[in-house]
């Protein structure tokens, strides 16, 4: 008899109301929208940092050349 009661309890807890189903669906939709927004943000952030890194590398390369020239002038 205990097993029958346990099965009945598990079945009754497995059922959800229409209201709960709507709340779960809304939560999933919001989560999916947030995921899309975060993915877009990460993509744009990666593009931005990539561009800034390239600009920084060019500036450092130019600065390195100027430091080398200055070093040569000081040694002369």
pLDDT digits (tens, 9 = 90+) for 20-70: 778 888 998 999 999 999 999 999 999 888 888 888 888 888 888 888 888
Within 8 A by CB and 6+ apart from 24, the residues are 16
Report the first-to-last Cα separation within the chain, whole angstroms: 102
Predicted model pTM: 0.54
pLDDT at 41: 93
pLDDT at 22: 84
Of the pLDDT bands very low, low, confident and very high (cuts 50, 70, 90), residue 7 is low
Within 8 A by CB and 6+ apart from 69, the residues are none
pLDDT at 11: 61
pLDDT at 37: 92
């Amino acid at each position: 008899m205990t097993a029958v009661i346990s099965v009945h309890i598990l079945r009754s807890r497995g059922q959800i109301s229409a209201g709960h189903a709507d709340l779960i669906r809304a939560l999933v939709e919001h989560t999916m929208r947030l995921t899309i927004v975060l993915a877009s943000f990460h993509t744009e952030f990666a593009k931005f940092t990539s561009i800034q890194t390239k600009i920084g590398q060019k500036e450092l390369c130019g600065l390195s050349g100027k430091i080398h020239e200055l070093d040569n002038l000081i040694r002369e």
